[in-house]
Structure formats: structure tokens, C-alpha cells
Amino acid sequence: MRFLITAGPTREAIDPVRYISNRSSGRMGYALAGAVRHEGHEALLISGPTSLDVPEGVDFISVTTAQQMYEAVQDMVGGVDVAILCAAVADYRPISYSNQKIKKEVERMTLELERTPDILGSMRRVFGFRGVLVGFAAETQNLLAGARNKLEAKGCDMVVANDVSQPGVGFDASTNEVWLVRKGREEKLERDTKHRIALRIVQETLSLIAG
């Protein structure tokens, strides 16, 4: 089985030295790629900027922006059986890029932003992906409602839900505590290392295929 995994943040440039991004470390996605290899399957990791080492035996594509991640997924999705989209894609990007570093000349300034492409939302509708699709939902409120909604709206087979308002969970942490949300079945994975959580997610995903 071949898995595609997206990981890490994306960076949306404002000028040559500044960008908009988020606190994603990429650890959950890299752990998922490692877990896929551990279970004896092929993994392609498409990642935004992180400071992590690519797990051994994992194919790797490095991207910076949401648009580049979108295009890499679109190019590669044809050959995969399972896609786990774990990246913390920036939701907005500056509408224009300044070729020169913006000078601090005024007291206030407004940065105009536009939405980035929705990769998860394009998997079924735009890319025609027919394999098993797993999304992530990082929320600070109404965690399960948000995840159930995403399951339906994006055509996912499973959504991994993170309450990122808790310390030690989700963003920029080495541990995680998640809910696995499927149609008619919801299960909590108690707090554990991202490596062990990743293995459970991959095993659950494989059981979706077997079932």
C-alpha cells in the first residue's frame, strides 16, 4: 500500500524576509510517515518547512507555500492508496508580495489576505481521489462537532481531532491526545507520544481498508 502524508506548516511570504505561518512542528506527520514504514508500507511525505529529519525509507517532497503543497499533492495523488493530510496549511496568504523589504515608515499598516487553496477539500472533488482519506481537525472549541462536520464536508473516511487549547497536545508538542472520528464510531486515544499515536492512526487506517 502507498500512503501520501502532508505535514508541517506552510509559509506565505510577505516580502523577502517576512512570512505568515503557524506553530506546527511537523512531528505528527513525520511520525505518521515513520509508522507507515514500520507497518511495511510505502510512504511519500510532502512537507512544509520543519527542522526534522525525514524518517528512513520515506520518499520526500519539500514545499514552502500552500500553493506548492496543493500542486505537489495534485501531481502525486494518482499513485496512492491512502492519503493522510496532517499539514497545518496556512489558511490565508498576503494578496501581494513585495519584492523589496517593506520599510517601517508608517505607524499602522494593513496587510490584505486571501484564502489559500483547500487541499483536503479538493481531494475528492478536484483531484478525483478514490482511496482512503484521513483528515485532521485542530480545534480550540467544539472539537467533535468540528470533526464530524469535516468528515462529511470533505469526504473523509476518518478525521483525527486534536484539542489544541490543551498544553502538551497538538501543535509544537511531542505528545498528543486525539479522537478518531469515523461515521458512527468515535474513539479517544489517551495522551501518548506522537510516535505511538501515529502507529495507532496508521493501524486504524489499515483496518478501514481491511473492513
Name the site residues for ligand C5P (rule: CB under 6 A).
6, 66, 85-87, 89, 116-120, 135-138
Secondary structure class of 137 (helix, strand, coil): strand
Rounded to whole angstroms, the Cα distance separating 49 from 51 reads 7
Residue 101 carries which DSSP code?
P
76 close to 43: Cβ distance less than 8 angstroms: no
Closest CB 19 distance from ligand C5P, rounded Å: 16
Using the minimum distance from each CB to ligand C5P, give the nearer residue, 49 or 102: 49
Using the minimum distance from each CB to ligand C5P, give the nearer residue, 98 or 172: 172
Say how far residue 62 (Cα) sits from the centre of its chain. 14
Question: What amino acid positions are annotated as catalytic residues?
Answer: 22
Using the minimum distance from each CB to ligand C5P, give the nearer residue, 66 or 77: 66
Using the minimum distance from each CB to ligand C5P, give the nearer residue, 81 or 139: 139
Q: Where are the beta strands (DSSP E) in 27-105?
A: 42-47, 59-62, 82-85, 92-94
Closest CB 162 distance from ligand C5P, rounded Å: 10
DSSP code per residue over 8-47: SB--EEEETTEEE-----SHHHHHHHHHHHHTT-EEEEEE
Number of H helices, E strands in the chain: 5, 12
